């Protein structure tokens, strides 16, 4: 008899009477009548998971080497339990009717399914929000209608990284770093195809304490650049890959699914061969260290040279009527990154419900170790916090594309603005009660430009004060550069609650290296470049 037929026969009596017979190995599921006082309710903890030996239950699930989750659920007539994107699989309460190892399996799948759907929705929302935010800010502040192509590409990449950072934080905020087992399977398949010893290049490590799978020795792409033509090409390839899957992609097995092997091949491309592979994997797995490494490589690979900076500095001081060319580049990067992220989530989740239950990329590999036992946190609160983070980060990237930076102590607080700050809707200036001036200004060639078009909108429309932006930028620079022996200036203490979000360059003109150059009548821009090596 086929293993699946054996499984259905084994469960048929149990489900017809709303009860379960005993499972020989590894744990016993008692009769599950709702009124059965013998049904034991376990706390949803790792201790209960281990006590019930759920990992062994999954590894030795009857017919589990051949039967996917969808077929088990469909054949066993379990209702309200359809896992996948846009689906709800609800385990219900213990003993109503499921109990023991089976209930823990279904409950963990419920939380995994919520995690996958939340991550997918968060990705869509994050990209939509960053598009809305950056489009508004570009229209409000960008002084050149069409940036130099390389400048536009750099801004697009920076905004893409802002989005990736937010999604990474969202993923980590749900369950912490989670590697989908199917990614490892795809990597192993590649090594077998290339006839390379897997032990020499790829290692799969099971951490006993958390039972999380990790990919080690995963190398970064040698090319640290991400050109626009490669982005367009990646979209064509992705479209072809997804069309090649066929079937009703993302649907349950009851309505038809793509071929499992084709899905693995598509996932192999998405996580190993696409231009977005390294970035996508680092984001979705919550690997912050890897993400920062990739980010630094991309940023340095798209650093503007002196000629491009001069083009930027000599831009006119008026609002252009059209930003289409610049926005077109930004939209291409954000859309491509989003599509690749969502495709990895979609294909991975579909593999999870299509692969055999006891396989590494199936149920056993996904939930073993009880890593999805904890209920999901309040996702709306996480999303609200990340939206604010993205908005502040996007503002920083747009201002950096205009060569805006922060100065501290460059002038005395004896002007006509509040507390002696500069006055005017086109100025971003603040004076502390202690008499310390902080400004956001532009570098234009070797000169400072104190006026910023529509500067007043930063407070009136976006709600940020100059004091807050200066503190945020200072905190970020302290975090990134770790300036040794340079204490925070009086009246401007780095705020640990702000985090490294608003990463404009900061020039404290009171630092001796800068002050000496200014005394020699060097401009603030030149003094900050030479004295602090600021990239302005």
- Same domain for 289 and 359? yes
Position 114 in a domain? no
Position 117 in a domain? no
Q: What is the chain's alpha carbon radius of gyration, rounded to the nearest angstrom?
A: 28
CB 291 within 8 A of CB 206: no
Helix (H, G, I), strand (E, B) or coil at 160: helix
pLDDT in tens, the chain (536 residues): 444 343 333 333 333 333 333 333 333 333 333 344 578 999 999 999 999 999 999 999 999 999 999 889 888 888 889 898 898 899 999 998 888 999 999 999 999 998 889 889 989 999 999 999 999 998 898 766 555 677 888 899 999 999 999 898 888 777 666 666 666 654 444 444 444 333 332 333 223 233 333 332 333 344 567 889 999 999 999 999 988 776 555 444 444 456 888 898 899 999 999 999 999 999 988 888 889 889 888 888 777 555 444 444 434 334 444 577 888 889 999 999 999 999 999 999 999 989 999 998 899 999 999 988 877 667 777 777 788 889 999 999 999 988 999 999 999 999 999 999 999 999 999 999 999 999 999 998 899 999 998 999 999 999 999 999 998 998 888 776 654 444 444 444 444 444 578 889 999 999 999 999 999 999 999 999 999 988 88
- Same domain for 272 and 185? yes
Position 119 in a domain? no
Output the pLDDT for position 127.
93
- Same domain for 382 and 305? yes
Q: Could you tell me the CA-to-CA distances from 425 to 58, 320, 370, 429, 460 in Å, in that order? A: 65, 19, 56, 10, 10
- The residue out of 330, 364, 398 marking a domain boundary is 398
Output the pLDDT for position 54.
95
Position 362 in a domain? yes
Helix (H, G, I), strand (E, B) or coil at 204: strand
- The residue out of 109, 140, 171 marking a domain boundary is 109
- Same domain for 369 and 434? no
- Same domain for 216 and 254? yes
Say how many domains are in the chain: 3
Boundaries of domain holding 467: 403-532
Helix (H, G, I), strand (E, B) or coil at 404: strand
Instruction: Kindly report the pTM of this predicted structure.
Output: 0.77
- Same domain for 451 and 322? no
Position 118 in a domain? no
- Same domain for 30 and 138? no
C-alpha 170/C-alpha 284 separation (Å) is 9
C-alpha 506/C-alpha 504 separation (Å) is 6
- Same domain for 249 and 300? yes
Handedness of CA 178, 183, 184, 185 (dihedral sign): positive
Output the pLDDT for position 302.
74
Cβ-proximal residues to 72 (8 Å cutoff; 6+ apart), any chain = 7, 63, 357
- Same domain for 343 and 414? no
Output the pLDDT for position 316.
39
Position 523 in a domain? yes
Output the pLDDT for position 256.
46
Q: Could you tell me the CA-to-CA distances from 417 to 341, 390, 437, 526 in Å, in that order? A: 47, 30, 11, 26
What is the number of H-type helices and E-type strands within the chain? 20, 7
- Same domain for 237 and 381? yes
- Same domain for 235 and 160? yes
Q: How long, in residues, is the chain? A: 536
- Cis amide bond preceding 26, omega within 30: yes
Q: Look-up: residue for tokens 């532009």?
A: 442
Position 201 in a domain? yes
- Same domain for 434 and 528? yes
Position 470 in a domain? yes
- The residue out of 381, 398, 415 marking a domain boundary is 398
């Amino acid at each position: 008899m086929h293993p699946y037929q054996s499984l259905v026969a084994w469960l048929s009596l149990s489900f017809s009477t709303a009860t379960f017979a005993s499972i020989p190995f590894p744990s016993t599921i008692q009769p599950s009548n709702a009124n059965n006082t013998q049904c034991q309710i376990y706390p949803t903890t790792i201790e209960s998971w281990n006590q019930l030996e759920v990992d062994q239950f999954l590894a030795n699930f009857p017919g589990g080497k051949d039967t996917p989750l969808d077929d088990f659920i469909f054949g066993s007539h379990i209702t309200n339990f359809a896992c996948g994107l846009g689906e709800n699989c609800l385990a219900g309460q213990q003993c109503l009717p499921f109990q023991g190892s089976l209930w823990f399996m279904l409950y963990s799948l419920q939380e995994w399914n919520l995690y996958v759907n939340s991550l997918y929705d968060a990705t869509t929302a994050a990209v939509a929000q960053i598009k809305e935010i950056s489009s508004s800010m570009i229209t409000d502040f960008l002084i050149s209608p069409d940036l130099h192509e390389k400048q536009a590409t750099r801004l697009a990449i920076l905004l893409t990284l802002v989005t990736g950072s937010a999604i990474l934080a969202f993923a980590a905020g749900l369950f912490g770093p989670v590697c989908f087992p199917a990614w490892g399977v795809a990597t192993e398949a590649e090594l077998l195809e290339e006839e390379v010893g897997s032990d020499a290049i790829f290692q799969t490590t099971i951490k006993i304490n958390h039972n999380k799978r990790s990919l080690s020795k995963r190398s970064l792409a040698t090319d640290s650049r991400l050109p626009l033509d490669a982005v367009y090409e990646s979209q064509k390839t992705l479209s072809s890959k997804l069309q090649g899957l066929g079937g009703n992609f993302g649907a349950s097995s009851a309505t038809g699914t793509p071929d499992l092997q084709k899905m693995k091949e598509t996932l192999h491309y998405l996580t190993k061969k696409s231009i977005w592979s390294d970035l996508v994997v680092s984001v979705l797995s919550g690997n912050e260290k890897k993400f920062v490494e990739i980010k630094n490589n991309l940023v340095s690979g798209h650093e503007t040279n002196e000629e491009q900076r001069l083009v930027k500095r000599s831009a006119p001081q008026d609002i252009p009527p059209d930003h289409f060319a610049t926005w077109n580049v930004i939209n291409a990067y954000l859309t491509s990154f989003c599509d690749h992220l969502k495709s990895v989530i979609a294909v991975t989740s579909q593999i999870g419900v299509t692969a055999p239950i006891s396989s590494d990329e199936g149920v056993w590999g996904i939930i073993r170790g009880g890593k999805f036992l904890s209920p999901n946190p309040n996702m709306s609160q996480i999303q609200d916090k990340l939206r604010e983070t993205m908005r502040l980060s996007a503002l920083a990237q747009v201002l950096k594309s205009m060569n805006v930076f922060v100065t501290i102590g460059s002038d005395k607080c004896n002007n006509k603005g509040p507390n002696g700050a500069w006055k005017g809707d086109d100025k971003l200036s603040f004076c502390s009660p202690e008499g310390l001036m902080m400004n956001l200004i532009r570098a234009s060639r070797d000169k400072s430009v104190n006026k910023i078009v529509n500067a007043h909108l930063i407070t009136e429309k976006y709600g940020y004060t100059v004091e807050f932006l200066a503190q945020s930028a200072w905190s970020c620079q302290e975090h990134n550069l770790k300036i040794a022996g340079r204490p925070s200036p009086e009246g401007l203490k780095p705020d640990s609650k702000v985090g490294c979000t608003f990463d404009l360059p900061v020039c404290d003109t009171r630092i001796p290296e800068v002050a000496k150059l200014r005394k020699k009548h060097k401009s603030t821009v030149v003094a900050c470049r030479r004295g602090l090596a600021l990239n302005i």
